[in-house]
């Protein structure tokens, strides 16, 4: 990777990569607890864009595991830079003034084998245009919602938010409820979480909050997996999971900003679409 990073950019990139390593280690530990030897496979990629030589625009690492508990989980880290197209620049915060950009972040989606274990999404990122900001969040997506799991997930995220600003959780929860909504279905994608974007100004404070979101994910999700992964399930519950996955796929292909950003900036297509479930159905 030939991108030249300033200290803030390097600090963000280093954190996202370290968070990836810890998450992947925890998920592999869960597989071992279930009697599986599944491990993540990692594939490096370079950003592809007209006029760029390999590596000139950055790239990333795509990590995928298919196991007994995690039917398919992807954990990706990318660090890319370049110039937005004029049309796309108008849609990005601060890019209409200067179409050059830098972006680094982690993106995770897990689809589970057991319908009682919720799927989950987590993403945090740092972008630089004429402005600098953090964004991201995490949301729980159970095919068969359980009140106990939903409450735990939100309690952990709320604690992380409250440590920084009492306004963060209500504002970012409402943002998630609005964002993770499928308009053409009239339903939410899951049971919510938090979503934030364009968090700019004090780099140190905003970076500390973004780190705490990553730490909160590690506290919130693995306990739910361990609590539910041994439960039995029926064919009807499995059918409901496949149908729910169809809704998830619709959102990610039609409305998800991260999908669009990756495709518009020459990202790795397999990494971008790792959010799609391995199997889904439409009735």
pLDDT at position 168 over 90: yes
Q: How many CB atoms sit inside 10 A of residue 68's CB?
A: 17
- Asked if CATH classification 3.40.1500.10 holds for the domain at 7-273, the reply, yes or no, is yes
Read off the pLDDT of each residue in 161-188 and give the average, rounded to a whole number: 96
**Tell me: the pLDDT tens digits for 91-124?**
888 888 889 999 999 999 999 999 999 999 999 9
Q: Which helix (H) or strand (E) holds 140?
A: strand 132-141
Phi, psi of 200 (to 5 degrees): -125, 170
Instruction: Name the one residue in this structure whose structure tokens are 């402005």.
Output: 131
| pLDDT value of position 53 | 62
The secondary structure of 144-200 as a DSSP string is: S--HHHHHHHHHHHHHHHHTT-TTHHHHHHHHHHHHSEETTTTEESSSEEEEEEEEE
Any idea which of 85-94, 126-135, 152-161, 193-202 has the lowest mean pLDDT? Answer: 85-94
pLDDT at position 1 over 70: no
| pLDDT value of position 54 | 61
Q: Which residue has the higher pLDDT, 2 or 183?
A: 183
| Catalytic-labelled residue, pool 93, 111, 116, 121 | 121
Q: Which residue has the higher pLDDT, 246 or 90?
A: 246
Quote the mean pLDDT of the chain.
Answer: 93
**Encoding tokens for residue 58?**
């950055």
| pLDDT value of position 57 | 84
pLDDT at position 274 over 60: yes
What are the distances in angstroms from CA 90 to CA 32, 79, 84, 99, 179?
A: 47, 21, 9, 9, 20
Q: What percent of the chain has pLDDT over 70?
A: 96
64: left (phi over 0), alpha (psi -120 to 50) or beta: beta
pLDDT at position 89 over 90: no
pTM listed for this prediction: 0.93
Respond yes or no: is residue 184 known to be catalytic.
no
149/142 Cα distance (integer angstroms): 9
Domain locations in the chain as residue ranges = 7-273
Read off the pLDDT of each residue in 123-145 and give the average, rounded to a whole number: 97
Nearest residue to 46 via CA among 5, 3, 87, 97:
3
**Tell me: the pLDDT tens digits for 42-61?**
999 988 766 666 666 899 99
**Encoding tokens for residue 225?**
């997996």
187/195 Cα distance (integer angstroms): 17
| pLDDT value of position 90 | 86
79/264 Cα distance (integer angstroms): 15
């Amino acid at each position: 990777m030939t991108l030249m990073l300033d200290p803030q950019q390097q600090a963000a990139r280093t954190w996202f990569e370290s968070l990836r390593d810890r998450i992947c280690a925890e998920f592999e530990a869960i597989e071992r607890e279930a009697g599986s030897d599944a491990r993540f496979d990692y594939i490096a990629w370079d950003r592809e864009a007209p006029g760029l030589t390999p590596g000139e625009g950055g790239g990333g690492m795509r990590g995928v595991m298919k196991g007994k508990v995690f039917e398919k989980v992807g954990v990706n880290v990318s660090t890319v830079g370049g110039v937005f197209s004029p049309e796309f620049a108008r849609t990005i915060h601060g890019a209409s003034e200067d179409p050059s950009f830098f972006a680094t972040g982690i993106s995770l989606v897990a689809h589970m084998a057991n319908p009682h274990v919720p799927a989950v999404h987590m993403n945090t990122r740092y972008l630089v245009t004429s402005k600098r900001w953090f964004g991201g969040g995490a949301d729980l997506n159970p095919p068969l919602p359980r009140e106990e799991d939903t409450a735990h997930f939100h309690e952990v995220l709320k604690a992380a938010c409250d440590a920084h600003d009492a306004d963060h959780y209500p504002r970012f929860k409402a943002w998630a409820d609005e964002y993770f909504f499928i308009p053409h279905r009239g339903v939410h994608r899951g049971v919510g979480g938090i979503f934030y974007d364009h968090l700019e100004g004090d780099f140190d404070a905003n970076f500390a909050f973004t780190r705490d979101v990553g730490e909160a994910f590690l506290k919130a999700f693995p306990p739910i997996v361990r609590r539910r992964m041994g439960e039995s399930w029926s064919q009807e519950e499995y059918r409901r999971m496949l149908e729910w996955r169809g809704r998830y796929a619709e959102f990610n292909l039609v409305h998800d900003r991260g999908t669009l950003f990756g495709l518009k900036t020459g990202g790795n297509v397999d990494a971008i679409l790792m959010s799609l479930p391995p199997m889904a159905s439409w009735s």
